[in-house]
Amino acid sequence: MSDFGLDDDATGAVIDSDGDGYADTAVVDADGDGYVDVAAYDTDGDGYVDIAEADTDGDGYTDTVVDDANDDGVADTVVADTDGDGYSDVVVSDTDFDGDADAAAADTDGDGIADVEAYDGDGDGVFENVVADTDGDGIGDVAVIDGDGDGVFETTLVDTDSDGVIDDAAIDYDGDGVTDTVVDGSTDTISSDTNADGYVDVVAEDTTGDGFVDTAVVDTDYDGTADVGVVDLGQGPFQA
């Protein structure tokens, strides 16, 4: 079957189901084991392949599916079972058909549930949001966000106890690659570098865990020494 660019012992078939002179379905058994290794379909009869399937490990089951939804000759969705367990491990989609992936998901532990998801909201080919499920419970534990779409993640959010609530956060407000604010859920503390000089200027803490700041220290002149300290003594918002 040299027409398929394969070895002479490979077998295959081409089917023109609508009789228009163009193949609508093509199947190939590349290794001659009796199982289809590659199948291509022209679902709309325009002469171009819309969906292709491949059995890359020769076990008789499809491992990879490629879908060209808008018939432009460029794959819009790719689904792959990389470990051959029958579950999709990787999905990549180009939802706006611009040739760049807008969404991607991966199942890294092979449990059938996506552990990492990435999204390109503005369609520039760069993923702005990535969410990871680090403990495999089906809930995202870590998220990184590129707010301005420059390829640098400015915000990191972490759910340390997998209760669906963010516990820790790190934020780079000016996008210079240096964290400006850190929220520590375990100590209910917020540390912030307000002038982005690399040194913490404000530290606020919720000592009672009621969701309100109880103590705060501020370095107003950025000399590395706290100038202002405030404490909530229970007699008003703050007492100096």
The DSSP bridge pattern shows strands 77-80 and 11-15 to be: unpaired
**Is 7 inside any structural domain?**
yes
User: Tokens at residue 30, please?
Assistant: 């590349």
Residue of 218, 216, 171 lying closest to 196 (CA atoms): 171
Q: Report the C-alpha gap between 132 and 156 in whole angstroms.
A: 11
**Is 187 inside any structural domain?**
no
**Is residue 6's pLDDT more than 60?**
no
**Is 150 inside any structural domain?**
no
Residue of 56, 27, 30 lying closest to 42 (CA atoms): 27
Q: What is the pLDDT of residue 8?
A: 40
120-161: pLDDT as tens digits:
988 888 899 999 999 888 889 999 999 888 888 999 999 998
For residue 29, give its domain range: 1-75
Instruction: Specify whether the CB–CB gap between 54 and 64 falls below 8 A.
Output: yes
Q: What is the pLDDT of residue 78?
A: 94
What predicted TM-score, i.e. pTM, was given to this entire model?
A: 0.69
Q: What is the pLDDT of residue 233?
A: 60
**Is 140 inside any structural domain?**
no
Q: Is 167 left (phi over 0), alpha (psi -120 to 50) or beta?
A: alpha
Domains: count for the chain? 1
Q: Report the C-alpha gap between 145 and 105 in whole angstroms.
A: 16
**Is 10 inside any structural domain?**
yes
**Is 234 inside any structural domain?**
no
Q: Which positions ≥6 away from 136 have C-beta within 8 Å?
A: 109, 111, 113, 115
**Is 111 inside any structural domain?**
no
**Is 1 inside any structural domain?**
yes
